Structure 1
Amino acid sequence: MSVTIQAAALNSANAAYNAQDKRALAVGIALELIAARVSSSASVHLEQEIQNLSTYADQIQAAFNAS
């Protein structure tokens, strides 16, 4: 697990993190996931993944709020 994802997992429930901080964590995680996905398969297109960045970050942020 990457350092960014580990930090987000540890800090997502931190009361000191405001909504903007949590969004930044979610976007960072989404970017890491996109990077891993793009580097692992020739059939994945970076442009499509970047277009989905906001959706991925929304889903990650929703997972933070569910925990």
Structure 2
Amino acid sequence: MSEFFKNLRARDGYNSETPADTREAAVAAALVLIHAKVSNSPERHTIVQEELQRLSSYADLIQQALKTD
């Protein structure tokens, strides 16, 4: 699964990361996690809707965890 997260951070090495870049990376990570969960739950047809409703919360948690200050 580590291949899914390769190059997830939106940094170019020049400290030019913006808040939008950080949020985009967090949402991308959350979508990867949702994809993994949905793929492992084929018997639950409502799981995609449930997980997408949690997308923002997941992205918030991931973004907070990525803070380095």
Per the normalisation by structure 2, the TM-score is 0.77
Q: 1:46 is matched with which residue?
A: 48
Percent identical among aligned pairs is 34
Gaps of 5+ in 2: none
- CA deviations on 1:27-62 (whole Å, 9 max, x unpaired) are 011001100110012347110000000000000000
- The worse-fitting range, judged by mean Cα deviation, of 27-36 and 41-50 is 41-50
Q: In 2, Cα distance between the equivalents of 1:45 and 1:62?
A: 25
Q: In 2, Cα distance between the equivalents of 1:46 and 1:17?
A: 30
Gaps of 5+ in 1: none
Q: In 2, Cα distance between the equivalents of 1:14 and 1:40?
A: 38
Q: In 2, Cα distance between the equivalents of 1:66 and 1:58?
A: 15
Provide the aligned length of Structure 1 versus Structure 2.
65
Q: In 1, Cα distance between the equivalents of 2:68 and 2:37?
A: 25
Q: 1:62 is matched with which residue?
A: 64
Task: Determine which structure has more spread, i.e. the larger CA radius of gyration.
Answer: 2
Q: After TM superposition, which residue ranges in structure 1, 4 or more long, deviate above 4 angstroms?
A: none
